Amino acid sequence: EDQVTQSPEALRLQEGESSSLNCSYTVSGLRGLFWYRQDPGKGPEFLFTLYSAGEEKEKERLKATLTKKESFLHITAPKPEDSATYLCAVQAIGAGSYQLTFGKGTKLSVIP
Amino acid sequence: DTGVSQDPRHKITKRGQNVTFRCDPISEHNRLYWYRQTLGQGPEFLTYFQNEAQLEKSRLLSDRFSAERPKGSFSTLEIQRTEQGDSAMYLCASSQRHSPLHFGNGTRLTVT
């Protein structure tokens, strides 16, 4: 069974204080790993897809990386508007490969 | 691209009543998904449509749940004889092949 574990559950940062969120995963064969951002009362908003170990993607202050066992979402010099819950999900190769298995998320709070 | 639209945004119902939610996907997307999210958890897969065909249902989807996608356009999710445990955010997402899922802002169901 595919599993995704995110840590920490919650993270408070001062504005400008860089940090990383972790996503550890277990999957029989990885088709893709996805990062989403979710604001309260809203649906998840797509950020990145990573397909193979060593791959990196960047968008503004966010950078996602992937190894064979985990992914990191690095946040550089965060701003208060980066406050949200960040969700990690995996898609497996094979039967049921259209399903995403999500972690519980990391709730990020950036304090001015 | 107007995004994935879900209606209603909020629904309060009494235990035992039936409810129906609607999802309008992004127009050119032929794949449609329903997920359920409870407080503090990541979204959980419920069911998947490719065009009008329902290709997969999670074991989370009890007999009280039914989903349809007539003519491969909008989709409805019906819950019969609602229970308090059905209280959650019901998320719809759509995609094209090899593209990430785009989520709507969900329907929040409260069963009293």
pLDDT at B1 over 80: no
Q: Which of B31, B44, B100 faces A34 most closely, judged by CB atoms?
A: B100
What integer pLDDT is reported at residue A96 of this predicted model? 65
Read off the pLDDT of residues A26-60 as tens digits, 9 standing for 90 and up. 998 999 999 999 999 999 999 999 999 999 999 99
Whether the predicted pLDDT of A95 surpasses 80: no
Chain B partners within 8 Å of A96 (Cβ): 56
Q: Please tell me the distance in Å from A88's CA to the nearest CA on chain B.
A: 9
- Name the residue among A36, A44, A98 with its Cβ closest to that of B56: A98
Q: For B54, what's the count of Cα atoms within 13 Å in the CB-facing half-sphere?
A: 15
Looking at residue B11, what is its pLDDT?
A: 98
For residues B42-66, average pLDDT: 92
Interchain contact B105–A (C-beta under 8 A)? yes
Q: Which residue carries 């785009």 as its tokens?
A: B102
